[in-house]
Structure 1
Amino acid sequence: MALFGGIEAGGTKFVCAVGTGPDDVRAVTRFPTTTPAETIGRVIEFFRSQPEPMTAIGIGAFGPTDPDPASPTYGTITSTPKPGWQNTPLRKLVADALGVPVAFDTDVNAAALGEYTWGAARGIDTFIYLTVGTGIGGGAMVEGRMLHGLVHPEMGHIRVPHDWAVDPFPGFCPYHGDCLEGLAAGPALERRWGTRAETLPPDHPAWPLEAEYLAQALVSYILILSPKRIVIGGGVMHQPALFPLVRTRVKELLAGYVQSPAILEGIDTYIVPPALGDRAGVLGAIALAQGQR
């Protein structure tokens, strides 16, 4: 049986795995994202240590990136705010070291592909995968194809209404200040409230405010892409109170305009967590690799 490698290259940590799918993961490792040389060195060491050869490897990477296979800088992490990682040719370094085909996409597109292949978006040809954690990013599949374009979707950097009287926090995005990521990613919660998101109780005022920003963004995505499902992962979404608040506010903001039973009657199964949980990214990278056969 052909084996595949997957790399979830996150801004905080890397996850590498070998296998064929959710029920067949032969080996996995996790380590912090430090310098490119150290981090990529650990990636290469892990795959070289495996007892069986791999047919291909997939990478889902934090960005911004160059995901265009026709580009001379395909697979490069480009203008990222992550110190030291600007213009890192991640795909090329891995491919040259390991000598196997290497597929590349954004981390959120990879996670979307994982959920499409094995998870909460299985059988759905048009959907969105959003992650809300250290940053906010979105991947989209439209009519069975991952969405790319000029570069790749940057759903975390859209503008959302910011009521300064209600929320005087200026945002933390180094590029845009109070974009969605600047207001609603994990670091925004920590800086606004003075403690990490996972320590905030379910009845804390942080959660209605967080739900407001996320719902405002989801309504824009719904009206633009008309997804048949929205899957939301990431560490911030582990707060159980958040999904019900987001679903309720999305319906309120749409105000009956989108006349679909999926929203009017089935919102609980329209906005959902990833079925693959925190493994969506690395399993999606394996799915990327399988497309290289």
Structure 2
Amino acid sequence: MLYGSIEAGGTKFVCAIGNEKLEIIERVSFPTTTPAETMPLVIDFFNQYKEDLSAIGIGSFGPIDIHPNSPTYGYITSTPKLAWQNYNFLGAMKEAFAIPMAWTTDVNAAAYGEYSFGNGKGLSSVVYYTIGTGVGAGALQNGEFIQGFSHPEMGHMLVVPHPKDDFKGSCPFHGNCLEGMAAGPAVEKRNGRKGQDIPQDDPFWEIEAEYIAQCAYNTTLMFSPEVIIFGGGVMKQRHMVDKVHAAFKRLMKDYVATPELEKYIVTPALEDNAGTLGCLALAEKAYQDAK
């Protein structure tokens, strides 16, 4: 029995096969170009395992339609990637493989990976953010995603500009939202270089940490989760976690008692594997639910 994983990102599709223990046995990636170019590569990869493939978990860039009763369920909807707008992703996969499939956002899949195997394992309430090219988030309560008419877009929460920051934000919709102020493109636009090229003692990182701490503050007061996990390229700066802890403590002013910060605001235990492992775990769940 094998499970499939598709982590469909804005720049590449990462496809994987896992065994019954959800161990990755093969993984490949394809550029995200157009459905006509990318999807045949995806389908060909899984066709090699068609005989033993029991279910597939899909975590996709969005926005996507997550409501099973909707006529456009399984579609990528109003994405800025024009070739993928209103594309029936799930329908294309179901046409190729008549097996159970899980369908969610790419960041929800990463959240589920950490919930199943990483820093959210054994906890009932987990919130995961990825801070990279954009900012996305997923929230889980008792193993179920928190969502309503659509999936949350917590990466676009508004943040208060830092007193030493005159940057207006790079989000074309909201300016000074979390993504507009703290995502990778905002870091580069403000500094003229990528985050990986900025020394860790540069004063800018205190500003960046302030925005991420505001995110943790808002998340704490809205959800009171047992853990907040910050992933993505920006958080690969290992010095950031301590800076975020310090800024969060200043903002919270002991208003609520949280778990110990070293265990409450953390980076992913699974690092770059969170999305793939999350999709495999969701595939297993889809298979069990369909039995």
Q: TM-score, normalised by structure 1?
A: 0.93
Q: What is the alpha-carbon distance in structure 2 between the residues aligned to residue 187 and residue 123 of structure 1?
A: 35
Corresponding position of 1:152: 151
Would the alpha carbon gap of residues 22 and 16 (structure 1) be closer, same or farther in structure 2, given more than 3 Å must change? farther
Corresponding position of 2:48: 49
Corresponding position of 1:18: 17
Would the alpha carbon gap of residues 285 and 227 (structure 1) be closer, same or farther in structure 2, given more than 3 Å must change? same
Corresponding position of 1:280: 274
Alignment map for 1:80-99 (pairs within 5 Å)? 80-99=79-98
Equivalent position to 2:168, from 161, 167, 170: 170
Q: What is the alpha-carbon distance in structure 2 between the residues aligned to residue 22 and residue 40 of structure 1?
A: 27
Shift of 1:23: 6.4
Gaps of 5+ in 2: none
Gaps of 5+ in 1: none
Alignment map for 1:12-161 (pairs within 5 Å)? 12-20=11-19, 24-50=23-49, 52-161=51-160
* 8 Å CA contact retained: 1:5, 1:289: yes
**Amino acid paired to 2:14:** V
Shift of 1:51: 7.2
Which digits, 9 at most, give the CA deviation of each residue in 1:31-70, with x for residues without a partner?
2211222122221121113375310101011111111122
Would the alpha carbon gap of residues 22 and 251 (structure 1) be closer, same or farther in structure 2, given more than 3 Å must change? farther
Shift of 1:198: 1.5
Indicate the percent of aligned positions where both proteins have the same amino acid: 49
Q: Which moved more, 1:26-35 or 1:15-24?
A: 15-24
Q: Which moved more, 1:192-201 or 1:57-66?
A: 192-201
Would the alpha carbon gap of residues 128 and 15 (structure 1) be closer, same or farther in structure 2, given more than 3 Å must change? same
Q: What is the alpha-carbon distance in structure 2 between the residues aligned to residue 91 and residue 277 of structure 1?
A: 27
Corresponding position of 2:264: 270
Shift of 1:178: 2.1
Q: What is the alpha-carbon distance in structure 1 between the residues aligned to residue 14 and residue 122 of structure 2?
A: 26
* 8 Å CA contact retained: 1:207, 1:241: no
Shift of 1:168: 2.4
Q: Which moved more, 1:36-45 or 1:281-290?
A: 36-45
**Amino acid paired to 1:173:** C
Q: Which moved more, 1:268-277 or 1:170-179?
A: 170-179
* 8 Å CA contact retained: 2:22, 2:281: no
Would the alpha carbon gap of residues 101 and 38 (structure 1) be closer, same or farther in structure 2, given more than 3 Å must change? same
Q: What is the alpha-carbon distance in structure 2 between the residues aligned to residue 99 and residue 220 of structure 1?
A: 42
Shift of 1:258: 0.6
Which digits, 9 at most, give the CA deviation of each residue in 1:202-259, with x for residues without a partner?
1122311111111111100100001011111111110011111011111111000112
**Amino acid paired to 2:106:** D
Equivalent position to 2:255, from 250, 254, 257: 257
Shift of 1:184: 0.7
Which digits, 9 at most, give the CA deviation of each residue in 1:51-94, with x for residues without a partner?
75310101011111111122221121111222322211111111
* 8 Å CA contact retained: 2:74, 2:103: yes
* 8 Å CA contact retained: 2:18, 2:24: yes
Would the alpha carbon gap of residues 255 and 133 (structure 1) be closer, same or farther in structure 2, given more than 3 Å must change? same
How many matched pairs? 287
* 8 Å CA contact retained: 1:91, 1:104: yes
What secondary structure sits across from 2:84 in the alignment? coil
Which digits, 9 at most, give the CA deviation of each residue in 1:122-167, with x for residues without a partner?
010111011111110110012332111110111101100024x622
What secondary structure sits across from 1:195 in the alignment? coil
Would the alpha carbon gap of residues 180 and 247 (structure 1) be closer, same or farther in structure 2, given more than 3 Å must change? same
Q: TM-score, normalised by structure 2?
A: 0.94
**Amino acid paired to 1:178:** N
* 8 Å CA contact retained: 1:231, 1:274: yes
